[in-house]
Amino acid sequence: MMTLLRAVIRRDLLLAWRRRADIATVVLFFVIVVSLFPLGVGPEPNLLRTIAPGIIWVAALLACMLSLQNMFTSDHSDGALDQMLLAAAPLSMIVVARAFAHWLMSGLPLVILSPLLAIQFDLAPELSPVLTLSLLLGTPILTLIGAIGAALTLGLRGGGMLLALLVLPLYVPVLILGAGAVDAASAGLGADAHLLLLGAQLLVTATFAPWAVAAALRISAE
């Protein structure tokens, strides 16, 4: 089974690399959205420092949404999804492998770029690691929850808009905990509680989301 899952991850990474314009779109969207705020709000350092975690988190949320739409659609239309439904390994494990590959290509770049973007907001250097860590724990949750939405809206007309309406409300707890971690750290309270809760949420999502995605994908094949 491990060989099978490795082949699936390798396939997704290879496909993402050959369609690297798609990844570039997501990353550039993230960078541009984050960069627009200091220009629009004006150079008031205290204000910028306060809004930095929220802005970066919301931008990461929207960038994740953008990358989700093509998670299953092409596999659905060219029949590759049928082959995954009939694979020799449990579908939920294949979903985990695919979500991992998807996060590597669309979530991890955001995590890596975030300390750089935080400089624009004059975020204190000691808060940067907290922001990065919160995104490192949070973006996989965004990918997993988003995968449920992507599987449920598969094959629907105007699925993209519906996906946003379906998934964004579910992102709220992640956003509150993620941005809150940085706020708590800057207030001197320590980010441990927020980060632990975020980690707990990641564990719960990683346990249940693949199963939900698998069920939704089976329905879409009927």
Partner 1 sequence: MLAAQKLEITRGDRRLFGGITFELRTGTLLLVTGSNGSGKTSLLRALCGLLLPSAGEVRWQNENIRSLREEYWRHLVYIGHSNALKDELSAAENLGVLCALSGVHTRPEQQRQALADFGLAGREHLPAKALSQGQRRRTALARLPLCSTLPLWILDEPFAALDSTAVSHMQSVVGTHLTDGGMVVMTTHQVVPIAAPAMRELNLDECRR
Cα separation, 72 vs 74, whole angstroms: 6
Binders of partner 1 among residues 87 to 146 (CB under 8 A) are 87-90
Residue placing its CB nearer to partner 1 in the complex, 21 or 39 = 21
Check binding of 155 to partner 1 (CB under 8 A): no
Taking alpha carbons only, the member of 1, 30, 170, 16 closest to residue 102 is: 16
| Residue 216 touching partner 1 (CB under 8 A) | no
Q: Does 156 bind partner 1 (CB under 8 A)?
A: no
- Tell me how far, at minimum, the Cβ of 8 lies from partner 1, in Å: 8
82 part of the interface to partner 1, by CB under 8 A: yes
Residue linked to tokens 């009927």? 222
40 vs 79, which CB is nearer to partner 1?
79
Within 18-47, which residues bind partner 1 (CB under 8 A)? 18-19
22 or 49: whose CB is closer to partner 1?
Answer: 22
Structure tokens at 64: 């994740």
3-state secondary structure the chain: CHHHHHHHHHHHHHHHHHCHHHHHHHHHHHHHHHHHHHHHHCCCHHHHHHHHHHHHHHHHHHHHHHHHCCCCHHHHHCCHHHHHHCCCCCHHHHHHHHHHHHHHHHCHHHHHHHHHHHHHHCCCCCCHHHHHHHHHHHHHHHHHHHHHHHHHCCCCCCHHHHHHHHHHHHHHHHHHHHHHHHHHHHCCCCCHHHHHHHHHHHHHHHHHHHHHHHHHHHHHHC
Listed ranges 63-71, 78-86, 103-111, 134-142: which one lies at the site for partner 1 (CB under 8 A): 78-86
Binding span for partner 1 by CB under 8 A among 12-20, 55-63, 165-173, 198-206: 12-20
3 binds partner 1 (CB under 8 A): yes
Could you tell me the two tokens for 100? 């991992």
Q: Which is closer to partner 1, CB of 81 or CB of 164? A: 81
DSSP summary character for residue 189: S
Residue 14 touching partner 1 (CB under 8 A): yes
Q: Where does this chain touch partner 1 (CB under 8 A) — which range of 13-21, 58-66, 104-112, 114-122?
A: 13-21
86 touches partner 1 (CB under 8 A): yes
| 68 versus 84: smaller Cβ distance to partner 1 | 84
User: What is the contact surface with partner 1 in residues (CB under 8 A)?
Assistant: 3-4, 7-8, 11, 14-15, 18-19, 74, 77-80, 82-90, 221-222
